[in-house]
C-alpha cells in the first residue's frame, strides 16, 4: 500500500531558515522595553562626568521636588539596600558599589538614582542633581598606571595591579613555581627571534538593543520577577536572589527577546541590582532602559590588552619557543568575569603549533575607564592575534611563505587529544587539511601573482593569512564557577506536539531553529510541531546561559539526551499499543511503526494521546511523556580555521579597502550550515571592525572621546567584500553531536589576517607590524615617511 504521508526530510545538516526571523524583522518581538507592568516607575542614573574624583557634595533637592519624582537615592543610600557587587572570578577585588560612594573611578559611573513616573521626568530629574567633585588625577595610560602614577585607584591595590603577575606555560607548576630551563634553552638555541609590542585595542560591544531591566517585587507574595536583556537569566536569578536576601525559588528571571549581547550581557550589572532593590524597597515595579550614550560608558568594554611577544625559531622555520608578556587594561573595577578574560588569552597562547617551550605572564591593571569583560571571542582573539602576527613576522623575516611556515609547525592529527604547554587539551583537529582547503579556495598562488602584478603597477595590494584555534563549548564544571553543564527538558504534549526547554538562552544564535531541527529528526515529526522555550527561569528549570560558543555543543547535547529519554519511554507506550517490541520501532514521518511496516503503525499523536490516557497502563510505566537531562562535557571543544584576506591601501590617502576574505572554519558537525555561516559572517564583521575601524579612545582626562556612533565606527555591509566561506569537518569526541561551537570563531582569524595583508601591502616601506585599527592616517604616515 502506498503511503500518502509525504516523507519528512531529515533536517539536521540542512540549511533551514531561521524560525526566529519573521517575528524579528516584522517588529513582532518583545524586548524588555516593550514589557509593561501596571504601576511601573522608571529609573534614571546620574552619572559621573569626571573620570576620577572624590564626591564632595550631592544636591538632590531640586530633583526630588520635581513633579512626578518618587524618590532620589545617593550612592550611600543605595549602599544600604545593595551590597557591594560580587564577581565570578577567584581574584582579589576592591569593593564595587552599584552607585559610587565617596569616589568615582570612571566617567559614566553612577552617582545617584532617580525614581520617577516616566523616563522623561526621570531623565530631567537626574540632570537636575548637582554633584561636586574634588578632582583626582585620571589614570589613563596603561604602562604608567602600573607604576602607580598618576594615582592609585584602589587603596589596597598598589601600582593599580588588579592581578599582579601570573606566570603560565612550560616550567610553571600548579603552585606557580617557575623553572626557566626549557624556555631559556629554546631561546638560546634560536637562530632568529621576533620581538614585538602589540596592542589589542579596546572595543565597545554596541549591541543594537542596549541593556534594560524591569524588576517587579510583589510584596504580597514576597517574590521578585526580573526581566532583563541578559545572556543568562539563571545566573541573573542566582545573583538577584543572593543580593536581595531571597531564595532562588522566590525569584523569576526572564530574558525576553535580546537584541545582541556579544558577551557584554553576561555580566550582572549595578543597574539590575539597583532596580531590584528599589522595587523591593518601594514595592513597585521598576524599569530602566539604557540609552546609547549610556551604553558606551556603562556597558563593559572588550579587549584592551597589550602583548610583548618574543618568538624563537630556527632559520628553517622551526619554532622553538614563545614568550608573551600580557598586560590587560581592565578599567576601573572587576566585573563578573573581567579578571578571567585575559587568562583565556594565556590559555590559548599555544595556538595551532608544536611549540616546545612557552612562557606567558599576565598582569591586569586598573585604570579610570569603563571596566572590561567578555566581548565576542573573549581572550581568544587576543591570543590568536599576538601569536599569528608573530608567525607572520617570522615568515617575513625568513622570506618564507606564511603557509609553509605554519605547515612546518602544525600540531599533527595523530597528536590529538593534544595537551598544550598552557594546560589545555585540544580535543580534535586537522589544521593542515583546513589550511589547504583555504589555500585552494583562495587560489593562493594566483592570489600572490595578482598581488605582485598590482604591486608592479604601483598599487599597494597585500595578502595575509592566519590560523586560529579557540576554546569553546564551556565546559566541565571545573572551568566555570556556575557549573559547566547545560539543562534541557522535553515534553511530548497530548496532541503529539513537542515543547522543549533549554537553559542556553539564545539571543541571536538561532537555537529555536537548530534545536527544533534536532528534535524533529529525533522524533520524526515536522519542525513546525516543535517549540523551543528559553529565557524564563520559571519555565526552564535550570540553566547556565549562552556564552563561550556553548549553546549547541553543551545545550544541544542536553536537549539530545532529554529527547532520548522521552523517546525511550514513548517507545514503551507505542510497543504496548502496537503489541510490538520497543527495539523494533521506528519514529518517522509523524508515525511510530515496526520497522518495515509503516502502514500498520500509529500516528505520533495517537501514541502521545495514549501516554496521557493510558488505559491500560503498561506495567512499570508512569503516565505522561516528559523528561529532562543535564549534560556536562568532559572537556571544552577547540574549533579552528584558516582565514585569508586581500586588501588594498590607497597610496595617496592611506585608506584601506578589504578586497577579499576567504574563510575555512571547522566547528565539527554542523546542525544548520546556514546559521553557522550567519554566525561566521557576524564574527567576521566584528573582527574586521576591530582590524579596520573600531577603537575606543579616551583623552588624557579619562573622557571617552568615542562616545557615540558619530565617532565610534561599527562595520556596515558596505565595508565588506562578499565573504567566501567553506568548512572542513573534524567532529569533537567531547559530545555525542560532534559539534564544537561557532559563535565567536569569525572574530579570531580575521584580525591577524587583515593586519598581515596591510603589512604585506606596505612591504616596500619596510614596515613589520601595524597596530590595529588600520586608521588611514596611520597608514598614510607609513607611506609618506612619517612615523607610524
- In order of 331, 332, 580, 763, the CA distances from 298 in angstroms are 12, 12, 62, 41
Pick the closer one to another protein by CB: 210 or 331. 210
Between the CA atoms of 555, 350, 344 and 361, what dihedral angle is there, to the nearest 10 degrees? 160
CA torsion sign for 651, 653, 654, 657 is negative
- 526 φ, ψ (degrees, to nearest 5): -70, 150
Pick the closer one to another protein by CB: 111 or 774. 774
CB of 274 to another protein, least distance (A): 19
CB of 696 to another protein, least distance (A): 11
Pick the closer one to another protein by CB: 442 or 688. 688
- Does the N-terminal peptide bond of residue 345 adopt cis geometry, omega within 30 degrees of 0? no
User: H or E element: which one contains 309?
Assistant: strand 302-313
Angle at 278 (CA atoms; ends 276, 281), nearest 5 degrees: 110
Cβ atoms of residues 168 and 151 within 8 Å: no
CB of 277 to another protein, least distance (A): 24
Q: How far apart are CA 92 and CA 168, in angstroms?
A: 19
CB of 127 to another protein, least distance (A): 7
Residue ranges binding another protein (CB under 8 A): 119-120, 123-124, 127, 291-294, 652-653, 655, 693, 697, 705-706, 708-714, 716, 776-777, 780-781, 784
Instruction: Give the DSSP letter string of 538-594.
Output: TTS-S---S-TT-IIIIIIHHHHHHHHHHHHHHHHHHHHHHTS-GGGEEEETTEEEE
CB of 692 to another protein, least distance (A): 8
Comparing CA positions, the residue from 704, 700, 702 lying closest to residue 296 is 704
User: What are the cell numbers at 745?
Assistant: 570563531
CB of 128 to another protein, least distance (A): 11
Cβ atoms of residues 361 and 325 within 8 Å: yes
Pick the closer one to another protein by CB: 555 or 707. 707
Please, what is the angle between helix 402-409 and helix 380-398, to 10°?
110
CB of 294 to another protein, least distance (A): 8
Pick the closer one to another protein by CB: 155 or 787. 787
Pick the closer one to another protein by CB: 158 or 705. 705
CB of 393 to another protein, least distance (A): 27
Q: How far apart are CA 365 and CA 333, in angstroms?
A: 10
Instruction: Give the DSSP letter string of 129-171.
Output: -EEEEEE------HHHHTTT-S--SSTTSGGGEEEEEEEEETT
Pick the closer one to another protein by CB: 340 or 693. 693
Pick the closer one to another protein by CB: 179 or 711. 711
Tell me 771's DSSP state.
P
Cβ atoms of residues 193 and 316 within 8 Å: no
CB of 659 to another protein, least distance (A): 17
Using a 10 angstrom Cβ sphere, with 0-12 exposed, 13-18 middle and 19 or more buried, the burial of residue 194 is buried
Beta pairing class for 656-666 and 724-727: parallel
Distance of CA 288 to the CA centre of its chain: 24
CB of 291 to another protein, least distance (A): 4
Q: How far apart are CA 656 and CA 597, in angstroms?
A: 64
Pick the closer one to another protein by CB: 214 or 438. 214
CB of 120 to another protein, least distance (A): 6
Pick the closer one to another protein by CB: 578 or 704. 704
Pick the closer one to another protein by CB: 1 or 717. 717
Pick the closer one to another protein by CB: 444 or 712. 712
Q: How far apart are CA 600 and CA 602, in angstroms?
A: 7
Gyration radius (Cα) of the chain, Å = 28
Pick the closer one to another protein by CB: 101 or 713. 713
Pick the closer one to another protein by CB: 94 or 776. 776
Cβ atoms of residues 375 and 714 within 8 Å: no
CB of 119 to another protein, least distance (A): 6
CB of 495 to another protein, least distance (A): 46
Q: How far apart are CA 301 and CA 204, in angstroms?
A: 5
Cβ atoms of residues 701 and 138 within 8 Å: yes
CB of 293 to another protein, least distance (A): 5
CA torsion sign for 83, 85, 89, 91 is negative
Q: How far apart are CA 555 and CA 547, in angstroms?
A: 11
Amino acid at each position: 500500500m502506498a503511503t500518502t504521508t509525504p516523507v519528512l526530510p531529515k533536517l539536521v545538516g540542512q540549511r533551514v531558515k531561521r524560525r526566529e526571523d519573521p517575528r524579528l524583522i516584522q517588529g513582532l518581538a518583545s524586548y524588555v522595553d516593550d514589557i509593561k507592568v501596571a504601576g511601573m516607575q522608571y529609573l534614571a542614573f546620574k552619572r559621573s562626568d569626571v573620570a576620577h574624583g572624590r564626591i564632595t557634595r550631592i544636591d538632590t533637592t531640586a530633583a526630588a521636588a520635581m513633579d512626578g519624582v518618587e524618590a532620589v537615592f545617593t550612592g550611600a543610600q543605595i549602599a544600604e539596600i545593595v551590597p557591594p557587587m560580587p564577581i565570578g572570578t577567584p581574584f582579589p577585588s576592591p569593593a564595587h558599589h552599584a552607585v559610587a560612594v565617596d569616589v568615582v573611578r570612571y566617567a559614566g559611573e553612577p552617582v545617584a538614582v532617580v525614581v520617577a513616573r516616566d523616563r522623561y521626568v526621570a531623565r530631567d530629574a537626574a540632570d537636575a542633581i548637582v554633584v561636586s567633585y574634588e578632582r583626582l588625577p585620571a589614570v589613563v595610560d596603561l604602562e604608567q598606571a602600573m607604576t602607580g602614577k598618576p594615582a592609585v585607584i584602589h587603596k589596597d591595590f598598589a601600582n593599580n595591579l588588579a592581578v599582579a603577575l601570573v606566570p603560565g606555560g612550560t616550567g610553571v607548576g600548579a603552585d606557580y613555581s617557575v623553572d626557566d630551563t626549557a624556555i631559556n634553552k629554546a631561546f638560546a638555541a634560536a637562530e632568529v627571534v621576533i620581538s614585538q609590542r602589540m596592542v589589542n585595542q579596546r572595543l565597545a560591544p554596541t549591541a543594537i538593543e542596549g541593556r534594560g531591566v524591569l524588576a517587579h517585587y510583589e510584596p504580597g507574595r514576597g517574590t521578585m520577577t526580573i526581566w532583563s536583556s541578559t545572556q543568562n537569566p539563571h545566573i541573573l536569578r542566582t545573583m538577584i536572589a543572593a543580593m536581595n536576601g531571597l531564595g532562588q525559588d522566590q525569584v523569576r528571571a526572564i530574558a525576553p527577546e535580546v537584541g545582541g549581547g556579544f558577551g557584554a550581557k553576561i555580566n550582572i550589572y549595578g543597574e539590575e541590582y539597583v532596580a531590584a532593590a528599589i522595587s523591593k524597597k518601594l514595592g513597585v515595579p521598576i524599569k530602566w532602559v539604557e540609552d546609547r550614550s549610556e551604553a558606551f560608558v556603562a556597558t563593559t568594554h572588550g579587549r584592551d590588552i597589550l602583548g610583548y611577544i618574543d618568538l624563537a625559531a630556527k632559520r628553517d622555520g622551526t619554532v622553538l619557543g614563545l614568550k608573551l608578556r600580557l598586560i590587560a587594561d581592565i578599567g576601573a573595577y572587576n566585573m563578573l568575569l573581567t579578571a578571567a578574560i585575559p587568562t583565556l588569552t594565556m590559555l590559548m597562547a599555544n595556538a595551532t603549533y608544536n611549540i616546545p617551550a612557552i612562557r606567558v605572564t599576565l598582569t591586569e591593571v586598573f585604570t579610570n575607564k569603563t571596566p572590561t569583560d567578555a566581548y565576542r571571542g573573549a581572550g581568544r582573539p587576543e591570543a590568536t592575534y599576538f601569536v599569528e602576527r608573530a608567525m607572520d613576522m617570522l615568515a617575513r623575516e625568513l622570506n618564507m611563505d606564511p603557509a609553509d611556515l605554519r605547515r612546518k609547525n602544525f600540531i599533527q592529527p595523530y597528536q590529538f587529544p593534544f595537551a598544550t604547554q598552557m594546560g589545555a587539551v585540544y580535543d580534535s583537529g586537522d589544521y593542515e587539511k583546513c589550511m589547504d582547503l583555504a589555500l585552494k579556495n583562495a587560489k593562493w598562488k594566483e592570489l600572490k601573482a595578482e598581488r605582485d602584478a598590482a604591486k608592479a603597477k604601483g598599487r599597494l595590494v597585500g595578502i595575509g593569512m592566519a590560523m586560529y584555534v579557540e576554546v569553546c563549548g564551556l565546559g566541565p564544571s571545573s572551568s566555570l564557577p556556575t557549573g559547566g553543564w547545560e539543562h534541557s527538558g522535553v515534553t511530548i504534549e497530548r496532541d503529539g506536539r513537542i515543547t522543549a526547554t533549554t537553559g542556553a538562552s539564545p539571543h541571536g544564535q538561532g537555537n529555536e531553529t537548530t534545536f527544533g531541527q534536532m528534535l524533529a529528526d529525533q522524533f520524526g515529526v515536522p519542525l513546525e510541531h516543535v517549540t523551543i522555550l528559553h529565557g524564563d527561569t520559571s519555565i526552564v528549570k535550570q540553566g547556565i546561559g549562552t556564552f563561550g560558543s556553548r549553546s549547541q555543543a553543551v545545550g544541544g547535547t542536553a536537549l539530545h539526551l532529554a529527547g532520548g529519554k522521552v523517546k525511550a519511554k514513548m517507545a514503551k507506550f507505542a510497543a504496548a499499543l502496537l503489541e510490538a517490541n520497543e527495539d523494533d520501532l521506528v519514529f518517522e514521518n509523524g508515525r511510530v511503526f515496526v520497522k518495515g511496516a509503516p502502514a500498520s503503525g500509529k500516528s505520533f499523536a495517537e501514541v502521545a494521546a495514549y501516554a496521557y490516557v493510558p488505559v491500560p497502563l503498561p506495567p512499570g510505566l508512569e503516565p505522561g511523556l516528559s523528561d529532562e537531562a543535564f549534560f556536562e562535557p568532559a572537556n571544552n571543544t577547540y574549533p579552528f580555521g584558516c582565514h585569508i584576506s586581500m586588501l588594498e591601501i590607497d597610496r595617496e590617502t592611506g585608506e584601506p579597502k578589504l578586497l577579499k576574505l576567504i574563510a575555512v572554519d571547522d566547528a565539527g558537525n554542523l546542525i544548520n550550515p546556514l546559521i553557522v555561516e550567519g554566525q561566521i559572517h557576524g564574527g567576521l564583521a566584528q573582527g574586521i571592525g576591530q582590524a579596520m575601524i573600531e577603537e575606543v579612545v579616551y583623552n588624557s582626562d579619562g573622557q571617552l572621546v568615542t562616545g557615540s556612533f558619530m565617532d565610534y565606527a561599527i562595520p556596515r555591509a558596505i565595508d565588506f567584500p562578499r565573504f567566501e566561506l567553506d568548512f572542513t569537518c573534524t567532529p569533537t569526541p567531547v559530545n555525542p553531536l560532534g559539534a564544537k561551537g561557532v559563535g565567536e570563531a569569525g572574530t579570531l582569524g580575521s584580525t591577524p589576517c587583515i593586519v598581515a595583508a596591510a603589512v604585506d601591502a606596505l612591504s616596500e616601506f619596510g614596515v613589520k607590524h601595524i597596530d590595529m585599527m588600520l586608521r588611514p592616517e596611520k597608514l598614510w604616515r607609513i607611506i609618506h615617511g612619517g612615523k607610524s
